[in-house]
Amino acid sequence: MKQANALCCLMFLAGGAWAGTVEPPLQIGGAFSVPTTSLRELRFRSTIRQQFDFSCGSAAIATLLAHHYRHGVNEQTVFEGMYRHGDQEKIKREGFSLLDMKRYLQTLGFEANGFEATLEMLGRANIPAIALIQEQGYHHFIVIKGLRQGRVLIGDPSGGLRAMSQASFQQIWTNQILFVINNQQDRARFNLDAEWKIVPRAPTDLAINRNGLGSMLLPKLGPGDF
């Protein structure tokens, strides 16, 4: 998991834009400041970043609670609670398990379980879920934040918010298990427009000429050109 996290960090740092304040020059009246937000900051706005190599589980739970069930926690609080109630030696070797998550959520009044299910079933339930994926040879917990038009919106504790096709997700989602909160579903937030706007579709339609074949073959004549 260390190599996977390091790779994610390198890719993220290379692709992120600088954040701060932009001061564009003006011809009249001096300059004004425009606050900016980097892509990196946007990707972690609603996804809590893991602080340790083996803490993707606690970061996923913190993301689920804080951003989908309006239960304010941070990763440190979740990490300490899951570690305190879990098999500490096993956690040191393998990281957190779904059982550790279940036990911790019970202490907060949330009932949760893992189910063998499909993305279509999750979409009908309209609730977020935690899933275990395998990328670059490493297992990793993520939060499924939304499903829309054949795409899966993912809150990744190591890389932030991202989206991929359902077909691509199926290839890395190896066990087909969805970990969901069974109760308090009236509090659940799923498929939020604000999150989808951060990962829009590639504007492939802009490369398509929609004027038709005629415009490619016939000259556009102006007055007096005939």
Radius of gyration of the chain (CA): 23
Going from the C-alpha of 159 to that of each of 66, 84, 179, 196, the distances in angstroms are: 18, 27, 20, 16
Q: Catalytic annotation on 56?
A: yes
Looking up tokens 């400041």 gives 33
Q: How far is CA 38 from its chain centroid?
A: 16
Of residues 4, 8, 48, 56, which has the active-site annotation? 56
Annotated catalytic residues are 56
